[in-house]
Amino acid sequence: MDAVQADGPGRRISPTTCTDKWPTTCTDQWPAGIDLGRYQRPPGDRNDVPMKDPKTYDSLSAIVLILGAYQGIGPFVGKLIDATPVLSLPARLPSPAWWLAAIASIIVTVFLLWGLDVGKKRAERRAQD
């Protein structure tokens, strides 16, 4: 594992036996006198990078829409035709609770789809830059 120094991107040091991803978590294996505050993660190797491909957002949106419709709209359709959708939790609840659970799942689905759409637009803007 190499760590890039903050004051010189071309200079690298290598720990001897550190097995963690970032050497700042295994300070006891570094030689004495090394200031770990001077080191940072290499550029381009970050864990907090959002999804870059807009197609990923489309796939997640489809999954959320299918599950949300099945859990939110399915119980209402099932009650109309006197059927119980398989694997639908709101359809198996007693009378006032299934209404609340089905409406709550529709609301959660709408907010998840909205959040995924915002993320997709941000990914498309980054792809254009």
Among 36-40, 64-68, 95-99, 118-122, the range of highest mean pLDDT: 64-68
Question: In whole numbers, what is the pLDDT of the chain averaged over residues?
Answer: 75
* 67 and 121 share one domain: yes
Q: Total structural domains in the chain? A: 2
Is 45 contained in some domain?
no
Residues 70 and 106 in one domain: yes
User: What global pTM score does this model have?
Assistant: 0.59
Q: What is the DSSP letter of 5?
A: E
CA distance to 3, 38, 114, 116, 119, per residue, from 11 (Å): 9, 12, 44, 40, 36
Q: Is the pLDDT of residue 2 over 60?
A: no
Higher-pLDDT residue of 16 and 43 is: 43
Residue 103 lies in a domain: yes
Residue 48 lies in a domain: no
Type of residue found at 51: M
Output Rg (C-alpha) for the chain, integer angstroms: 25
49 in a domain, yes or no? no
60 and 101 part of one domain: yes
Tell me 40's DSSP state. Answer: E
71 vs 95, which has greater pLDDT?
71
60 and 118: one domain? yes
* pLDDT at res. 68: 95
